[in-house]
Structure 1
């Protein structure tokens, strides 16, 4: 999770005073409380830390592209990732290794965390080594981009709450610009890649992916992608690569320079 200051002028429309009906974070401590959220999981990175990810196909998870990079700016090998769907108090609904990682072809990991063009493309898909096909863990559908004033929710892992997912059922979209969604959702280090949900046609769908924390007029906010078009391009890029190479790592079309202010991870212990 990256953190930086962002000017209020960045917002399309600032509605900082309209958060009275929002809800706080609630830890999903029981199986019953976790119902419907089992496809969100902790994405552990060996010798590094973790992000949050969500299942969008039986063999594909969605997260933030900056989670694919080490502190020196190099890509992390797929075999260092483990996806633990529905992880709660040391037990997961399903655990899978990763056979391939693919970031958005236009994402640039170049050290400029304030660059909206980078945040807007900060998504990646990871191919599981085996599909997840259970009745309790169903892939999420994708929603159209949220609009200013929309109510959204987020499920994430984070610093101080690593052992179970936390749900913020209602937070607000403050604005959007150049493909970046600014939200009041409560996120923390480790929440990178967390799915942002909306209700559409009676279904819970992913509308954005958390990229970074920021501050607007002293208030902490979350930044995410305007997911719909970037994800379409990413999945087309992924499909064009064909089957994963055994033991191999799929690189993006362009790799940026070292990111000295890149993703900060916390211990997954």
Structure 2
């Protein structure tokens, strides 16, 4: 059982500290040149006009947020036949589009749990595509160890007001972290859920977190990111997943009251 330092305590500590948020602007990746190197980030369409951001981490696997898989009205898992991953989606075109074969949230994630705070720590999902994507410009991203407090990270995402092309925030800061979650001064909004958080410490982008939620700190929008330590369990859950797309089995655990982007 991983230790979980309550995120409310983390935010309370932030509130008593003097931290200047210096959010850098979003860059629209409007052309092929702008988007070069980020093409494996895509829009995960969920049906009925809703979407999240997702990222290839293997030719047939997309990493996103766990809550993206659930209907917010019924709490039921969305049918995978409504889902489609559009890699590099920009201005009405994708470099590759794939239907979804299977989708699974982390086994400890419980969408309907009353403990919204603890839920953030497990807010991860894997999407298995019906067919792998094997294009040179769509190389899956590697994963890396979580960033330290004070480290600079970046985010590539879609959102409700920029649904037709991704945006890049090159630099934002990890302003707090515990064992399971990050608080970052990155821009997050509806549709940003599941967006990859990148570290450049190795000289090339590696995923170190996934955007789970947003909240306000000092009247500024900050992002809450889920750590990737549960990914091994998630991969195992996907292997064991009943191939029937309607058979959703997710066990219970905890989660805070934040706005999911």
Q: TM-score, normalised by structure 1?
A: 0.85
Question: How far 1:112 moved relative to its partner?
Answer: 4.3
CA gap 1:57/1:14 in 2 versus in 1, 3 angstroms: farther
Alignment counterpart, residue 245 of structure 2, candidates 244, 248, 252: 248
Aligned residue for 1:182, secondary structure, equals: strand
**Structure 2 alignment gaps of length 5 or more:** 1-6
**Structure 1 alignment gaps of length 5 or more:** none
Task: Map 1:193-212 to 2 at 5 A.
Answer: 193-212=194-213
CA gap 1:240/1:251 in 2 versus in 1, 3 angstroms: same
Question: Is the contact made by 1:6 and 1:215 (CA closer than 8 Å) also made in structure 2?
Answer: no
Partner of 1:24: 25
Asked if residue 77 in structure 1 is aligned to residue 74 in structure 2, the reply is no
Q: TM-score, normalised by structure 2?
A: 0.88
Aligned residue for 2:211, secondary structure, equals: strand
Partner of 2:236: 236
Question: Is the contact made by 1:60 and 1:127 (CA closer than 8 Å) also made in structure 2?
Answer: yes
Partner of 1:129: 130
State how far apart, in whole Å, the 1-side matches of 2:46 and 2:248 are.
Answer: 18
Asked if residue 89 in structure 1 is aligned to residue 80 in structure 2, the reply is no
Question: How far 1:13 moved relative to its partner?
Answer: 9.5
Partner of 1:186: 187
Deviations 1:69-125 (A, max 9, x none): 00210000111101000000001010000010111001121254741x210110000
Deviations 1:164-198 (A, max 9, x none): 00000000001112411000001111100000000
State how far apart, in whole Å, the 1-side matches of 2:232 and 2:130 are.
Answer: 22
Partner of 2:142: 141
Structure number with greater CO (CA < 8 Å, separation at least 6) is: 1
Question: How far 1:150 moved relative to its partner?
Answer: 0.5
Structure 1 stretch 190-199 or stretch 9-18: which is displaced more? 9-18
Question: How far 1:9 moved relative to its partner?
Answer: 1.7
Root mean square deviation of aligned Cα? 2.6
Partner of 1:57: 58
State how far apart, in whole Å, the 1-side matches of 2:132 and 2:208 are.
Answer: 23
